[in-house]
Chain A
Amino acid sequence: MTTLIEAPPEDSDGLLPAKKKPSGGGLGQYILIRFLLIFPTILILVTMVFFLMRITGDPITAAMGGRLPPDQLQQRITAAGYDRPILVQYFEYLGQLVTGNFGTTLSDNRKVTEMLGTYGSATLELSINALIVALLVGIPLGMLAAHRRDHVPDAVLRIFAILCYATPVFFAGLLLKLTFSVWLGWLPVAGRAKTSTELALTSLQAPTGIYWLDALRSGNMAALGDVMAHAVLPAVALGLLTAGIFLRLVRTNVIGTLGKDYVEAGRSRGVSEFRLVTKHAYKPALIPIITVMGLQIAVMLGGAVLTEKTFEWKGLGFQLATYLTARDYVAVQGIVVLLAVIVATTNFIVDVVAALIDPRVRY
């Protein structure tokens, strides 16, 4: 779902000719099989969540447990069908899923698809912003660290990278908020936009839910500025977490490729050190980097939960935590399906790109 999906093919145009390789005859089949593997992944997660959720209790107790006598509670549970045999419920749910019916949330009565759309686009926006920060920070600094390895800048950057990772997102978020919103007053505290902006954007025809896109479309520059201002801190908080990982990843892999003969060969032809790092070593290093970045999406979504809570960013991750507390089976399952699809698809694409690059990669 994030730009990761688009990124690899662009950046790896040099790698695509692998398709022409004779051993790639089975590539189409590999892709197909790898694609089909998305479904077991989703099925496993959905099944897991389905049963786990039902172990934890039902939504009616969650909502009414403090108000209603047990018999009335039980009556409502029976009426809602939550005490039927669990396998019956499971297959019924699978049946619904297959027909594309995700149902209506139990705790706040909304269409799951619509709920996923609303919160999904918020999380998407956050992830994109964070990814931009992560890439802008992680990649150049990673190259710099590789270039100056074992010198002071390298050590400083590595500690910076570890600190990015070691500081819990919510702690970093809190510090950022205190500094830039409360003390300096430069940036808004929380939320995705001011009330007025938000109202302006909702009145838009067919809003995408990605605010900066909507703001851009509306042509309202004040709104755009406001949306941007709101996006900065969450993107930085979440982006830095990933930036630390990217930095290290880029450093490791660029150092690895810098030691390769072909870099030495480039050097022997008089290519400058700068170009050696940024082109000759970086591009081949991109292959493993892309693979790991793909896996990073799961980390990012996990971090998004915390960022969303810290910055009042109404997205999937945070909503999932809320729905979990409410034992809103339908909503939780819906979100899990979506997350599973996102993650599985990302990994699928990353794997395929990896396979395009390197036919030896198997699942």
Chain B
Amino acid sequence: MTENLDTPSGNGVPGTKTVLGIDHLQVTFATDSGDVHAVKDVSLELKAGEVLAIVGESGSGKTVTAKTILGLLPETATSSGAVLINGTNIISLSPARLRQIRGRDVAMVFQEPSTALNPVFTVGWQIAEGIRAHSGQGGGKRVSAKEAKERAIDALRKVGIPDPEHRVNYYPHQFSGGQKQRVVIAAALALNPGLIVADEPTTALDVTVQAEILELLRDLRGQYGTSIVLITHNMGVVADLADRVVVMYQGDIVEEAPARKLFAEPKQDYTRQLLAAVPHLGRNSASEGLTERRHQGGEVLVEAKDLTIEYPGRLGTPAFKAVDGVSFTLSRGEVFGLVGESGSGKTTIGRAIAGLNRTTGGSLKVLGYEMLDLRERTFKPLRKDIGFVFQDPAASFNPQLTIGECIAEPMVIHTRPSEAQARKRVGELLESVQLPASYAGRYPHELSGGQRQRASLARALSLNPRLLIADEPTSALDVSVQAKVLELFRDIQEEFGFGCLFISHDLAVVDILSTWVGVLYKGKLVEQGIGSQVMGSPQHDYTRRLIASLPVPDPDEQARRREESRALLGL
């Protein structure tokens, strides 16, 4: 990147100095329902210039550990053990001393860049704020506003923001998602801390952007020898960046190993399970070995021809074309996987098929009904043949109704069964998605995320639909849970034989389920074909980039792919 700064080793090889040492850390939260032991016993060590990944499923204590490193736990938490940063124990520090350490010795990068930046201050101000908070400390000289800004510009330059002198006065919303994350990293770098704690720094980003950020982090480590604690649940990211991996489970460290070793020969059962659950592009593909499109003889459920969908602009702004001239068909029994980055129009297409969005051009025939002139009254009879599974299982249930009532609703509307019939059918449906029938009496919030998504599937299936639309049905779930839901999904699809539009931004997930895959880019369907072929030998430039950006959970393979993608992206 730019010229070397005043940092030590510049070759990406971990040094010997210990930057961070955690010793028997224990964190407990006091809550109404008793104490929550979020972190039970964590010990680890981090050398200068090393990247340590902490992985584990949701709630395993990753974030709490990260926050402890900066002393950011809320009042309700009590912690014991030691967290040593350059030899200073964070746990016993006074608030004032703690403030000195934060930002100077250790900095943090957050998951969601748009929320980590204050929308009402310029990025320059926010970066300078950290610099000035430390100015004059410990006898150092005060930093003037101008000087602070200079240093903010430097930091922005370091993270590759173009034209930083100018951009320093921009507000966060004037940056793209990836740039925002760069700004957050710049803010963390402003005082050249030896250690950066990054809590899921790429989870909110598209894969292509994620690849850039990972590249940046690697550069930082390489150029300035910054140590990084990388928290993530994405094994691909781990494989891409980490030197060493710590696996957490319910507040404990279950395994710690160098990255290569962990992926190659996981010791613990839990780690093995975790790795097995991670979808891996090219493995376990539904279209393995297919050479031509299946189910073509069957009834065509959805047929889109030059489909265009526009969102009206508000108050005079021109309409926004979210879907632009898309053509495809979906037949009975087929799983059509639709992939694309955020905002590419996937959801819009799915909603249009379900009659939730109006189409504005071209033709979209759903079960033979032309959606262009959609009338709720004439379309209603067809609705019993369409099921819909939403992304967020929590939000798709009416919090006031029990699971049973929710599942029975389609029946009540279309077939008006007796109460006993309905109850029986609900029980059957629950069992078919592997939930106990007794769950019918529970309220949505009394189920876990995975359970809720199963119930949501049961509801979608209640009238034996011919067509199912699943909009990112697993993206809100943990990998292990996702694996189970996907498996269930596949079984049920085989059993019921409905046609399915499966929407996801995760190529690997789509690959597991669908035989026919379409790639959407800025509202256009740039490529469609048999899953394994699209993934294996992408034709369109964008598809190629997409696939190249996707980190695979295997350090060696990922290193190879990285070289390839560098070449592809012209880096």
Contacts and interface: CB of A to CB of B under 8 A. Distances in A.
Contact of A283 (B108, B120, B188): B120
B403 interface: no
Nearest to A268: B108
B119 A284 contact: yes
Given A14-B121, A270-B101, A20 B174 contact: yes
B136 interface: no
Nearest to A257: B118
B107 A262 contact: no
Interface string A26-51: 10011001000000000000000000
A33 B316 CA distance: 10
A319 B100 CA distance: 60
Given A262-B115, A262-B118, A268-B102, 12 more contacts: A17-B170, A17-B174, A25-B316, A33-B315, A260-B118, A262-B126, A265-B117, A265-B118, A266-B130, A269-B103, A284-B119, A287-B120
A261 B112 CA distance: 8
A362 B314 contact: yes
Nearest to A286: B120
Interface in A10-32: 12, 14-15, 17-18, 20-21, 23, 25-26, 29-30
A29 B107 CA distance: 44
B316 A26 contact: yes
A248 interface: no
A215 to B, nearest CB: 38
A267 interface: yes
A68 interface: no
Nearest to A287: B120
Interface in A310-359: 357
B316 A29 contact: yes
24 contacts: A14-B121, A26-B314, A260-B115, A261-B110, A263-B118, A265-B184, A266-B126, A268-B102, A268-B107, A268-B108, A269-B103, A269-B107, A269-B187, A270-B99, A270-B100, A270-B104, A270-B134, A271-B99, A280-B121, A283-B118, A283-B120, A284-B118, A287-B120, A362-B314
B41 interface: no
A264 B72 contact: yes
Nearest to A284: B120
A17 B315 contact: no
A333 to B, nearest CB: 32
Contacts of A284: 118-120
A272 interface: yes
B70 interface: yes
Interface of A: prevailing SS: helix
A302 to B, nearest CB: 32
A252 B122 CA distance: 24
Nearest to A264: B72
Interface of A: 12, 14-15, 17-18, 20-21, 23, 25-26, 29-30, 33, 260-273, 275, 280, 283-284, 286-287, 357, 362
B133 interface: yes
A254 B100 CA distance: 25
A290 to B, nearest CB: 12
A356 B70 CA distance: 36
B317 A25 contact: yes
Contacts of B72: 264, 267-268
B130 A270 contact: yes
Interface string B169-194: 01101100000000010011010000
B313 interface: yes
Nearest to B317: A26
Contacts of A17: 170-171, 174
A26 B313 CA distance: 9
Nearest to B69: A268
A362 B133 CA distance: 38
A283 B110 CA distance: 21
Nearest to A358: B119
Contacts, number: 105
A269 B315 contact: no
Interface in B181-234: 184, 187-188, 190
Given A269-B102, A270-B130, A26 B116 contact: no
Contacts of B116: 261-262, 264-265
A270 B128 CA distance: 12
Contacts of B107: 268-269
A283 B125 CA distance: 13
Nearest to A266: B129
Given A265-B110, A267-B72, A271-B129, A18 B173 contact: yes
A17 B173 CA distance: 9
Nearest to A30: B315
Contacts of B129: 266, 269, 271, 275, 280
A362 B120 CA distance: 20
Contact of B315 (A26, A260, A357): A26
A270 B313 CA distance: 43
B399 to A, nearest CB: 22
A25 to B, nearest CB: 5
Nearest to A269: B130
Contacts of A287: 120
Nearest to A20: B174
Most buried by B among A12, A33, A268, A272: A268
Question: Max chain B CB contacts within 10 Å: which of A29, A265, A267, A362?
Answer: A265
Contacts of A264: 72, 110, 116
Contact of A21 (B174, B187, B314): B174
Contacts of A269: 102-103, 107, 129-130, 133, 187-188, 190
Given A14-B171, A26-B317, A362-B314, A268 B70 contact: yes
Contacts of B99: 270-272
A45 to B, nearest CB: 25
A265 B317 contact: no
